Amino acid sequence: MQSKMKESDPILEVENLSASTDNLPILKGVSLTIYPGEIHAIMGRNGCGKSTLSKIVAGHPSYNITNGDIKFLGQNINSLEPEERAQSGIFLGFQYPIEIPGVSNLEFLRVSTNARRKFLNKEELDTFDFEELVKEKLEIVKMDHAFLSRSVNQGFSGGEKKRNEILQMALLEPKIAILDETDSGLDIDALRIVASGIKKISSAETGIILITHYQRLLDEIEPNYVHVMSDGQIIKTGGSDLALELEKKGYEWTDNFTQET
Amino acid sequence: MEIIEQIKTSKSIDNQTEIQKICLHKLQSSPLPNPKSELWRLSNKSKFLNFLDYSINEKDPKFDAPYPNTSKSNIRLIIGENCQINLIEKNYSIQHLSEDALVKYIKEQISCFDQNENWSDLLNLSLSCTKNILGLKISGSKIPPIEIFSHASSNALNAKTLVIFLEKNCDIDLLQVNLGKDNSSLSQSTFFCLEENSSVNHGVVSYGENKSNLLNSLNVIQQKNSEYNLGSLHFKFNYARFEISIKQSEGNAKTNIKGMQITKKDEQISTYTKIDFRGPNGFLDQINKSLADDKSHAIFEGSIIVPKIAQKTDASQLSRNLLLSNLAQIDTKPQLEIIADDVKCKHGATISQLNEEELFYMRTRGITLTEASKLQLSSYFQEIISFIPVSKDRWDLLDKLLNEN
């Protein structure tokens, strides 16, 4: 199955990426390639650089790329603005989705969706057409319509915020989704809803990176590859059994690994 | 002294009204505000002198209100133009105050004026001719929303005065719009008297054009069990001052204020509020927002006065400020003066910039930085705009704000 995937071109290539913030090196030569249809999991201790990697791929302005390249669909995107990356199909699901008081969730989703549709040369949706589309997508994450009239993420529970992230992913139809600890703060039922949503949205054309600490998300969504990060580097890559082994042995087991070549 | 000489030369002593004579007399001993006083120390002197630089104009050119389309059910009045109104309906009445009542009320107010604190009112009443003073007595309920316009003329100094009496149990929505013109100065003074159990949702929207100036003062007296809700917005003035004085004359009244000023280029806009509790069980909830960009300067100074008689007062004053440029300046000073010992009073101030993480979040959803900033500003504005009465106009106003240069 994996060789079949690799017949097509990669969606995302991270090549020997080093990055810093305030002159402090965070990533120290990360390489990662995602092909269509692949699901990758990235695991590692807190502070090892997992979230930073996701933010840098999404274009966070606080980080400087000091070496290496990020290629999306074959094009170098190092210098693209975050919105250009998003419009072209890179989605970042936040570990802590941001609350934006006073901005209605419905309008926020509509403006975002239209930005992506414009890039895809699809017709932009007016409020009425968008309502129809969003109603359909709400089903995927089992969210109530009432969430749309509230301010973005304001007053949402942890689980509701994560479902709202997956709703955005469903609307934006990205080529690659990086989901940063989407499972954190979710109870068992919410985790199943979120995981089932991710599975429904993903396809043979898309790639997914799951950043997680726990096996429980990977029980719901089986990854093709599991990467272990430590101190800004990927130190081990394996199949889904690597996550099971980590669960059993803890990160101490990885302490003696060095960066994979 | 120049402004006083100008007023004097603009009309003969015989043509001056009694009020003008009293105010001119008071102004003579204090021809300019004291620049060292708390109320005027931050005021830009050259901009203030520019305010006084224009020649006095009592006649208005034909006025085409550029303000968003009014609803047919609203009552629209323009001070200085044909303001004849005498509505006596089943549920309500709106009538002119008689000249005697108007003069009597204004004279009472003047007798309490402090020459420095009420300098803007003294100037206004020295300038305002009878035609430019609108006095209304309103009673009843289910009153259609009222819009009252004051406007300046280019290359001139205009003064407009509004006096409103709300009779017992009266309930209204009133939107006041002050419009500046190119190179103009507008002096606007408003006096509100709320009788027992009356309630008003009062909106004050002031916006200028190139090099327009505004001195806007608002004096409110609330009798017991009255409720005064003020939503205000000032923007696009070279120089503007909004001076609010509210007296809860017997306590047991409610005041809610949500105000905002937006400054750009090298503009200076300031808001001064003084809330005076003169009886027990008074309530105040106030939020003032400033947004300063470019090289502009926004000022807020608020004082809450709670004397011994005002036990059980519950007052809150918050100043929230957004600084959009490194060269812009915001001065804010909310303050409490409390003598009573059984009260609940709080105040606070914050100054921040646009939230970087909110912006990044929106940008990761494909929204451009410009659009994301607009969305964020729109959320900042909305709390205030939604408090301004006459809802139909709110969104046009928001649109105007967000699309201003």
Would you say residue B326 lies in a domain?
no
Chain A interface disruption, residue of B365, B380, B394, most A CBs within 10 A = B365
Nearest by CB to A168, which of B356, B360, B365? B365
- Segment B330-342 shows an average pLDDT of 93
Does residue A261 fall inside a structural domain? no
- ipTM for the complex? 0.95
> Into how many domains does chain A fold?
1
**Cα–Cα distance measured from residue B178 to residue B161, given in angstroms and rounded to the nearest whole number:** 11
- For B368, the closest of A62, A83, A168 (CB atoms) is A83
A185, A153 contact by CB (below 8 A): no
Are B387 and B239 members of one domain? Answer: no
In a domain, B182, yes or no: yes
pLDDT at B13 over 70: no
pLDDT at A3: 44
B160 shares a domain with B14: yes
Q: How many CB atoms sit inside 10 A of residue B77's CB?
A: 18
Is pLDDT of B192 > 90?
yes
Domain boundary among B195, B214, B249: B249
Instruction: List the domain range (segments joined by +) for residue B89.
Output: 2-249
**pLDDT for A83-106, tens place per residue?**
999 999 999 999 999 998 878 899
How far B346 CA lies from chain A's nearest CA (Å)?
23
Per the structure, the count of domains in chain B is: 2
| A259 domain-assigned | no
Chain B contacts of A81, Cβ < 8 Å? 363, 368-369
Domain assignment of residue A205, yes or no:
yes
Which residue from B134, B164, B125 is spatially nearest to B16, judged by alpha carbons?
Answer: B125
pLDDT of residue B391: 59
As a whole number, the mean pLDDT across chain A is 92
B97 within domain boundaries = yes
Tell me, yes or no, if A177 comes closer than 8 A to chain B by beta carbon: no
A78 Cα distance to chain centroid: 18
- Closest-CA distance of chain A to residue B372, Å: 10
Which residue of A91, A111, A169 is the best one to mutate when testing the B interface, meaning the one whose CB has the most B CBs within 10 A? A111
Of B249, B275, B294, at which residue does a domain stop? B249
Burial class of B12 by CB neighbour count within 10 A (0 to 12, 13 to 18, 19+): exposed
Find the CB nearest B367 among A85, A97, A111.
Answer: A111
Whether B380 is in a domain gets the answer yes
Using CB atoms, pick whichever of B366, B371, B380 lies closest to residue A116: B366
pLDDT band at B43 (very low <50, low <70, confident <90, very high): very high
In a domain, B300, yes or no: no
Per-residue model confidence (pLDDT) at position B19: 92
The answer to whether residues B377 and B231 belong to one domain is no
Q: How does pLDDT run across B140-188, given as a tens digit for each residue?
A: 999 999 999 999 988 999 999 999 999 999 999 999 999 999 999 999 9
How far away is chain A from the Cα of B402, in angstroms, using its nearest Cα?
14
Question: Domain range for residue A19?
Answer: 2-254
Least-confidence region, from A24-38, A102-116, B343-357, B391-405: B391-405
Instruction: Tell whether B262 is covered by a domain.
Output: no
| pLDDT exceeds 90 at position B84 | no
Residue B15 has what pLDDT?
A: 78
Distance CA A137, CA A143 (A): 9
In a domain, B233, yes or no: yes
Angstroms from A99 CA to nearest CA on chain B = 7
Quickly state the pLDDT bin for A251 (edges 50, 70, 90): confident
pLDDT in tens, A118-175: 999 999 999 889 999 999 999 999 999 999 999 999 999 999 999 999 999 999 999 9
Q: How many CB pairs under 8 A join A and B?
A: 71
- B366·A58 Cβ contact <8 A: no
Question: Is A260 part of a structural domain of the chain?
Answer: no
- Give the one of B364, B369, B371 whose C-beta lies nearest to A111's C-beta: B371
In a domain, residue A10? The reply is yes
CATH number at residue A153: 3.40.50.300
Residue A203 lies in a domain: yes
Q: Is the pLDDT of residue A199 over 50?
A: yes
Name the domain boundary from B198, B227, B249: B249
B224 and B364 assigned to the same domain: no
For residue B185, being part of any structural domain is answered with yes
